[in-house]
Structure formats: C-alpha cells, structure tokens
C-alpha cells in the first residue's frame, strides 16, 4: 500500500469515499477520469448511469403527455414544468420573506439606503407594470374581438335554430290539439294521439340536443383563453406581485420597521415624561406617570419583537426534519436499551412479546390522536410552559416554533418507529456468536464488559439495520401526522395546499411529493453510511 | 515427590448425558477416567463426534457435567476461568478489535492491578512469541486463518493459565501452517510448562505433540479406550521424531485402534485412505521438506 503514487492515493481515496457513501454508481466515472480501462468504464457508465437516466426521462415525457389530458375538479394535472415552476415560486416566496425579515430588523443609515434603492426599484417596476397592463388590455381587446368574430355566426345560427324549433313545436302542439278534438268527436282512435305524442317528445329531445351541441361549441370558444393572453396575464401579474412585494418592503422599512417603532414608543415616553413634569393636580400626575411606564414597557417589548415570518416550504422542510429527528432519537432511546434487555433475557422477551405484537400494527393516526390528548394534558398553557419558553429561546430551534403539536407528532413518529429498531436490536443481541460468548465466559468478563466489549459491538450492524428501517417508517408517519395534526411541516404544507384549492395547489402538492421523496432518500443513504461504518464484516470498521 | 502430588487434573467416571425428549437420556460420554500430571501434554484422539470436545468443554467448565467427578488442582470444576485457557477450533477473535485489543481483553482480566503500559508490554511479549510482532494493529479480517489462530494462542497464553485446553486448534489450517503452529505451541509449552490437553484427529499431530495419547472409543457412551505413552524427549525436533524407530509402531497402534472403533462406511473409507498413505505418507514428505528448508524451527529450542 505504501508504494502508491500520489495520484493513485487520490484515486483510491475517492473510490473508497464513493463506496462508503453508497454512491457506487459514480465508480466508473472516477475510474474513467483516471484512465483505467476506458472501454469497460464506458460500458458500465452506459449500462448503469445512462440507461436509468433515459428511463427516467421517458417517464417524465409520459407524465408530460398524460397530465394535461386528465381534467380534475382542481384543474389539469400539473406537468413536470409546472411542478418545476412551483418550486421556483416557493423559493421566491422564501427569498421575499428573508428580504422582509432583514428590512424589519434594519436601522439607521442602512435602513435609509435600502429605502432609497427599494423606492427606485418600485418606480421602475411600476412603470413596467403599467406597460404590461396596457399591453394586456390591448391583447384582451384583440382577443375579445376575435372571439366575437368567431362567435357571431354561431350565435346567429343558434338563434335561428331556436326559432325554427319553436315553430316546429308550436305546429306539433296545434296538430295534437286537432287530434284530441277529433278523438273527442269520436272521429279518431285515442291510440293515434298517444302515437303522435310519443313521436313528438322524441322529436323535441332531438331538437334540444342539436341546440345543446351548438351551445357547447359557443361555450368552448368563450371559455378558451388564447396562449398569448395567458402569457400576458402571467407576466403582468408577476410584475404586479413584485411591485406589491416591494411596497410591503417599504412598509417594513418605514412605519413597520422595528427601530422606527421603538423610536416612536420612546418618543411618546419622553412626551409623557414632559407632561409629568408640567402636571399639577394629583390625578394628572398619576395619569402621566402611568403613561410613562406604559410607553417604556412598550418600547422594550417592541425591541425584542421578531419578524412574523410566513411558513415557506423550506421552513416546513426544516421543521419536519427536526420533528422526525426528535421522534427518531426518542425511538432509539427506547428501542436500544429495551432491545438489549429482551435479547439478553428470555423472560423480558416473553413479557414484551405480547405488547410488541399488539401495538406494532396500530395505525399512526390512532397514536396521533392518543398522544394529542395525553401530551395536550401536560401543557394546558403552552405559551408560558418552561419547556417551550426554553426551546424557543434557543438559537436554531427557536426559529422552528416548537409547540405541543410538534411534541405529539414526534411522539407518534417515535411510537411507530420504535418497533423495527427494538425487534432488530433484540435479534442482534440474542444472536451473538456462541464462540464469542464462550470467550467471555473463559475470561470471566463481567456483565458490563461483556455488554460493551462483545454483545453490543457484535449486534451493532443489526441494530443499525433496524434504526434505518425505523427512520424510514418515521419519516413516512411524520408526514401523515403533520397533515392530521396541523403541526407545521411538509405534511401541513400538503394539507393546506389541498384545502386551499387555488390554481397552484396541485402543482405544490406534487412538488411536496418530490421533496418528501428526495429527503427520505437522503435520510436512508445517511443511515446506510452509518450502518456500513459500524459493520465489521467488510473491513469498513478500519476506515 | 510421589506421583500423587503431581496430579493436576483428575477425571473419574465422568459422564455427560443430554436429555432426549422421546426416550432415555443420551449418554455421550460415560465413565471417562483419566489423570493429567502437572506439566504434561496429553492428546485426546478419536473419531469425529465421539465426544472429545465434550470432555474438553467440561474440563474448561463451559459445559456442566452430568455425573462423576472432575477436579482441577484438587478442586471440583464449577465453571470456566482464566486458569484454564481455551483455544477453540475457530480462532474466535472479536472482529471489531485489533490483534492487540483481542489479547488485551484477557490480560485486563488477569492483571486487574497492572498499569496500562505493563499490560501492553505483556500483550506485546506474547504476540512476539507467536510471531505476530508486526501485526498488532491489524484486524482479524485482514489476517489469514493461521495468523488468526496464532492470536488465539497468544490470547490464551497471555492469561498465564495453569492449564491449556486446545480444541482441534489446527483443524481449519492447511498442513504447512499447521506444522508451523505446532512448533510455536510446543516452543511455548516447553518454556512455560503448562499442563495441556490437545484434542485432535490427526495421528501424526497426536504423536508429535503429546507425552501421552488418550484414545477414545466411539460414542455414544464414549470412554477411554487405550492410553499410549510417547517417550520421545523434549524439546522435540520434527525430523528426529519422524526418524525414530518406534514412530511407525506408535502410528500403527493408533490407527489400528481407530480402525477397530470404526463401523460406519464413511469413516471406513477414510481409514483406507489412511492405509494407502502408509508406505510413503505424503504428509511426511512434506514434513521433511519443511524441516530441511527451515532448520531453525527445530534448532531454536
């Protein structure tokens, strides 16, 4: 190993990293880069990289083809492009929240500078907006005209058809009246009238159908929005949106700004102080003093205020990850010790088997409701509860707004994720090689060193395999729990979009589907790396 | 010193019975009688499945006895302990520990008051003894079977045991490695004078290593069939042993005993094979070659 050239060292280091991180697909790329058997590597690349990429592209094309052809209550099924746009839109929303937050916190010169730039930007955008609006109006007029031209003959035809049909109906009514008169005079058979009326209703139906056909045609043309009109509308609304956002920023830079608000409160405090010194009657003095104290309190309260951030998708992602982490840690903290106990002691195993068997198949939804009730009872007043006050005071976690909903979502995750880890840990501990236990017996190792030196290391691979399954289960359960409990996170994002039902909702739901999937994939990969780094069979433990 | 004082292990009417849910208990070993003197090397030979390992695990205390008596140093065996070190057929190293850590595991138990440095020195001494001075940082997965078994031997010897129990320690090794390791162990035993019990089913190995050979009858109800004294001097030199005029007599005695025990066809075939090797045994040729090419292995005693 020591006679490797530096390049070889880099190469094999890189290959090892790829191998450990579970991205073995890139192995031939690295080898090709270092010029090792290019033919073989190219073959491998085309087999294991290009073929899957082509397949995924085919799937996307199929999706793109089939999506617009299925009409639903909430509009067309979004195409890949629309989902991508949804991602961009959500990202923009997040960025705008960032801007507003920093605007809210700015003070002094920086604030004034920003006001200047934003004002200039608003002027520019407004001009653009006006232009686009004019353009839009023009296009609209044009389209309307075109539409009118297209509709004109159809409308005429419809009117004509209606008139004709009316005439026909009237004539048939007259005819039937005539027949019934004849029947009354016993000049005709009643059967004839029935025959005629049956015929009549059929004809009426046919006439109505032809009318309806024409009406549908008209409606379709009326509903149709030309592409250029759509594009113009989109462009105009986008700029209008931006203008609105910039104005909101100005608001946060001026009257809504924290430093401004504080200054205002302080000013009113000094004013009150002034009136206190000039007041003469006891009642006035008391009132003035009260108002001084109030203003001071208000100023200090405002200076601690944070920007009320709207929940964007990235915030939801972080909150979901935090929740699943809490739940997973909770599950591991229960599963590993209990699993070790079960693996070591057959009585413990026998005691826990019925509990595991009964609770394992229970749906996460049921757990959620149970924990909602139980956890809720611990925090009757969550805003002032020391746990939440402490957690929300922490630098990173505080931004995630920890509340009881997060706690019981995490509990639900833990409850559902605990089983695979527990069962695997028990299996790992109980299946330690007998030879290794004999070694421990001969050496007369105590319980503690037997646990730490032999049992735990030898069961670690299985423990981590269980934890990996647990994390997967936890992530899946979490989304459902969040949707049901309205705990902020990706699940709530999906649920809100579903309830919201705007034109972007469906695209946002599909976007969330991909985000959830990709995060789940990386969580799994992370656990594989952990698992491999503790398993000793393939020599990975030496890394 | 009377011979009674030198008794180290006394096995009298030792019986091991396993419960049989559909009948009488199965007595794997019955009325096994044997005495091991201090510093003696005894090999136990017999067909596979005859209960050799059962006897060894009982002496080690890993397996409770059913009846009879089993005393080591005048005391009944009640459980395993570091005074009776065991080397198993598979090396049984803990794969998540380095060679040094594997040996250290036992040393820590035996020298609980020693400093870290002292313990490390002890481990290094015994690892050097088995010729693994440069592999202390290696993991078992990175070593050959022979090297792993050397670590197993070092781990056992480092306990400073009164008795060494070897359960077919060379069973999984190729013949060259096996001879190497036999010499390593004999070398250590000559220095430390540890009472040793070697389980084997290799006739040449039994003769080369032991002072006495205990031949076991076939199980169930296995017991001691014959005991053969091997009067070769120590330290032993392989070529001298092989050239000894009585060597083939011993070998013949062992094989004919084992042949008598044999009833099943499968093992019968094995016997024929053994016979065919008789005129010019290939293992012997190998042994000679090795002895010639590695004169130091014999001369180092």
pLDDT > 70? residue B263: no
- Do B142 and A453 make contact, defined as CB atoms within 8 angstroms? no
Q: Kindly provide the ipTM of the predicted complex, given to two decimals.
A: 0.74
The CA distance from A536 to the nearest CA of chain B, in Å, is: 6
pLDDT digits (tens, 9 = 90+) for B107-157: 988 888 889 999 999 999 999 988 888 888 888 888 888 889 989 989 998
pLDDT > 80? residue A3: no
The CA distance from B83 to the nearest CA of chain A, in Å, is: 9
Residues of chain B with Cβ-Cβ distance to A438 below 8 Å are 62, 80, 86, 88, 92
pLDDT > 80? residue B202: yes
- Do B139 and A458 make contact, defined as CB atoms within 8 angstroms? no
- Do B82 and A536 make contact, defined as CB atoms within 8 angstroms? no
- CB of A268 within 8 A of CB of A275? no
B266 pLDDT band (50/70/90 cuts)?
low
What pLDDT score does B199 carry?
92
Q: Could you tell me what percentage of chain B is helix, strand and coil, using 3-state DSSP and rounding each to the nearest 5?
A: 40, 20, 35
Rounded to whole angstroms, the Cα distance separating B58 from B2 reads 27
The CA distance from A533 to the nearest CA of chain B, in Å, is: 11
Rounded to whole angstroms, the Cα distance separating A137 from A130 reads 10
Nearest to B81 among A439, A444, A542 (CB): A444
Pick the residue of B53, B92, B100, B159 with the most A CBs within 10 A to test the interface with A by mutation: B92
What pLDDT score does A542 carry?
36
Nearest CA in chain B to A538: B141
What pLDDT score does B273 carry?
61
What are the tokens at A247? 């104005």
pLDDT > 90? residue A340: yes
Residues of chain A with Cβ-Cβ distance to B60 below 8 Å are 442
Rounded to whole angstroms, the Cα distance separating B209 from B232 reads 10
Q: Does A518 touch chain B (CB under 8 A)?
A: no
Kindly state the average pLDDT of the residues A72-80: 82
Choose among A375, A460, A456: nearest CA to A410.
A375
**Between A139 and A22, where is the model more confident?**
A139
What pLDDT score does B285 carry?
38
Rounded to whole angstroms, the Cα distance separating B296 from B238 reads 11
B299 pLDDT band (50/70/90 cuts)?
very low
A539 pLDDT band (50/70/90 cuts)?
very low
Kindly state the average pLDDT of the residues A409-417: 95
pLDDT > 80? residue A390: yes
B272 pLDDT band (50/70/90 cuts)?
low
Nearest CA in chain B to A436: B92
What pLDDT score does A337 carry?
95
Q: Does A453 touch chain B (CB under 8 A)?
A: yes
What pLDDT score does B297 carry?
35
Q: Does A35 touch chain B (CB under 8 A)?
A: no
Chain B contacts to A (CB-CB under 8 A): 60-62, 79-82, 84-86, 88, 90, 92, 94-97, 105-106, 109, 139, 141-142, 159
Rounded to whole angstroms, the Cα distance separating B217 from B207 reads 18
pLDDT > 60? residue B264: no
Nearest to B92 among A436, A453, A541 (CB): A436
pLDDT > 70? residue A421: yes
- CB of B206 within 8 A of CB of B232? no
Long-range contacts of A84-93 (CB under 8 A, 24+ apart): A85/A507, A86/A504, A86/A507, A86/A508, A86/A510, A86/A511, A87/A511, A89/A504, A90/A312, A90/A313, A90/A314, A90/A508, A90/A511, A91/A313, A91/A314, A93/A310, A93/A312, A93/A313
pLDDT > 90? residue B238: no
Q: Does A541 touch chain B (CB under 8 A)?
A: yes
Residues of chain B with Cβ-Cβ distance to A453 below 8 Å are 94, 97, 105
Kindly state the average pLDDT of the residues A282-297: 86
B287 pLDDT band (50/70/90 cuts)?
very low
Residues of chain B with Cβ-Cβ distance to A2 below 8 Å are none
pLDDT digits (tens, 9 = 90+) for A38-71: 899 899 999 999 999 999 999 999 999 998 888 8
Could you give all domains of chain B from N- to C-terminal order, each with its CATH number? 7-83+161-294 (3.40.50.300)
**Between A118 and B24, where is the model more confident?**
A118
Q: Does A439 touch chain B (CB under 8 A)?
A: yes
pTM of the model: 0.78
What pLDDT score does A220 carry?
85
Q: What DSSP character marks residue A279?
A: -
The answer to whether the bond into B220 is cis (omega within 30° of 0) is yes
pLDDT > 90? residue A511: yes
Average pLDDT of chain A to the nearest whole number: 88
Place of tokens 């990202």: A91
């Amino acid at each position: 190993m020591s006679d490797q050239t530096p390049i070889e060292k880099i190469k094999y280091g890189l290959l090892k990293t790829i191998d450990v991180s579970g991205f073995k697909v890139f192995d031939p790329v690295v080898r090709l880069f270092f010029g090792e058997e290019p033919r073989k590597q190219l073959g491998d690349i085309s087999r294991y990289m290009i073929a899957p990429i082509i397949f995924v592209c085919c799937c996307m094309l199929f999706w793109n083809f089939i999506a617009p052809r299925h009409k639903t209550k909430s509009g067309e099924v979004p195409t890949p492009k629309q989902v991508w746009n949804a991602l961009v839109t959500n990202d923009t929303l997040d960025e705008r929240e960032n801007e507003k937050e920093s605007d809210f916190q700015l003070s002094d010169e920086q604030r004034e500078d920003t006001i200047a730039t934003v004002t200039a930007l608003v002027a520019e955008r407004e001009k653009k907006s006006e232009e686009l609006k004019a353009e839009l109006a023009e296009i609209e007029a044009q389209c309307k005209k075109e539409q009118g031209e297209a509709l004109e003959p159809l409308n005429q035809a419809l009117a004509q058809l209606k008139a004709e049909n009316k005439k026909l109906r009237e004539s048939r009514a007259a005819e039937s009246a005539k027949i019934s008169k004849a029947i009354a005079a016993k000049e005709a058979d009643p059967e004839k009238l029935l025959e005629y009326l049956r015929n009549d209703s059929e004809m009426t139906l046919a006439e109505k159908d032809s009318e309806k056909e024409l009406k549908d045609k008209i409606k379709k043309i009326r509903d149709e929005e030309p592409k250029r009109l759509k594009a113009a509308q989109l462009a105009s609304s986008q700029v209008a949106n931006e203008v609105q956002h910039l104005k909101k920023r100005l608001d946060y830079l001026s009257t809504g700004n924290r430093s401004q608000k504080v200054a205002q409160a302080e000013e009113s405090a000094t004013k009150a102080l002034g009136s206190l010194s000039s007041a003469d009657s006891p009642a006035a003095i008391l009132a003035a003093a009260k108002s001084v104290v109030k203003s001071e309190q208000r100023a200090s309260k405002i200076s601690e205020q944070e920007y009320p951030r709207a929940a964007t998708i990235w915030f939801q992602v972080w909150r979901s990850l935090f929740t699943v982490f809490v739940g997973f840690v909770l599950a591991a903290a229960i599963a590993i010790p209990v699993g070790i106990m079960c693996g070591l002691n057959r009585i413990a195993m026998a005691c826990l088997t019925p509990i595991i068997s009964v609770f394992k198949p229970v749906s996460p939804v049921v757990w959620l409701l149970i924990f909602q009730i139980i956890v809720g009872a611990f925090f009757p007043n969550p805003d002032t509860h020391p746990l939440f006050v402490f957690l929300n005071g922490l630098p990173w976690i505080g931004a995630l707004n920890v509340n009881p909903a997060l706690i019981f979502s995490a509990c639900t995750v833990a409850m559902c994720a605990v089983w695979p880890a527990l069962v695997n840990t028990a299996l790992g501990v109980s299946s330690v090689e007998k030879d290794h236990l004999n070694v421990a017996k001969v050496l007369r190792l105590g319980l503690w060193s037997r646990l730490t030196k032999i049992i735990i290391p030898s069961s670690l691979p299985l423990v981590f395999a269980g934890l990996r399954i647990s994390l997967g289960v936890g992530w899946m359960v979490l989304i459902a729990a969040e949707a049901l409990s309205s705990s902020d996170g990706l699940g709530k994002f999906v649920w809100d979009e579903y309830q919201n039902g705007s034109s972007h909702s469906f695209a946002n739901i599909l976007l969330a589907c991909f985000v959830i999937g990709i995060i789940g994939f990386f969580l799994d990969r992370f656990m594989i790396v952990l698992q491999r780094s503790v398993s000793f069979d393939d020599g990975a433990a030496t890394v | 010193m009377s011979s009674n004082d030198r008794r180290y292990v006394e096995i009298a009417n030792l019986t091991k019975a396993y419960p049989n849910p559909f009948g009488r208990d199965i007595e794997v070993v019955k009325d096994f009688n044997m005495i091991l003197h201090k510093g003696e090397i005894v090999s136990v030979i017999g067909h596979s499945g005859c209960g050799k390992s059962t006897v060894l695990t009982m002496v080690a205390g890993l397996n409770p006895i059913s009846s009879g008596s089993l005393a080591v140093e005048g005391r009944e065996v009640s459980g395993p302990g570091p005074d009776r070190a065991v080397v198993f057929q598979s090396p049984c190293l803990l794969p998540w520990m380095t060679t040094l850590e594997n040996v250290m595991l036992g040393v820590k138990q035996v020298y609980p008051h020693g400093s870290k440095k002292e313990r490390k020195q002890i481990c290094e001494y015994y690892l050097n003894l088995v010729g693994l001075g440069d592999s202390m940082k290696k993991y078992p997965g990175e070593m050959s079977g022979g090297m792993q078994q050397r670590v197993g031997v070092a781990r056992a010897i480092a306990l400073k045991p009164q008795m060494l129990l070897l359960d077919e320690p060379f069973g999984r090794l190729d013949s060259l490695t096996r001879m190497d390791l036999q010499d390593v162990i004999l070398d250590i035993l000559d220095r430390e004078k540890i009472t040793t019990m070697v389980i084997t089913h290799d006739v040449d190995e039994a003769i080369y290593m032991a002072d006495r050979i205990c031949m076991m009858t076939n199980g169930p109800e296995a017991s001691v069939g014959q005991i053969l004294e091997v009067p070769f001097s120590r330290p032993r030199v392989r070529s001298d042993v092989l050239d000894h005029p009585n060597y083939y007599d011993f070998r013949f005695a062992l094989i004919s005993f084992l042949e008598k025990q044999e009833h099943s066809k499968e093992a019968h075939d094995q016997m024929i094979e053994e016979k065919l090797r008789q005129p010019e045994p290939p293992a012997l040729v190998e042994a000679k070659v090795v002895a010639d090419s590695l004169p130091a292995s014999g001369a180092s005693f």
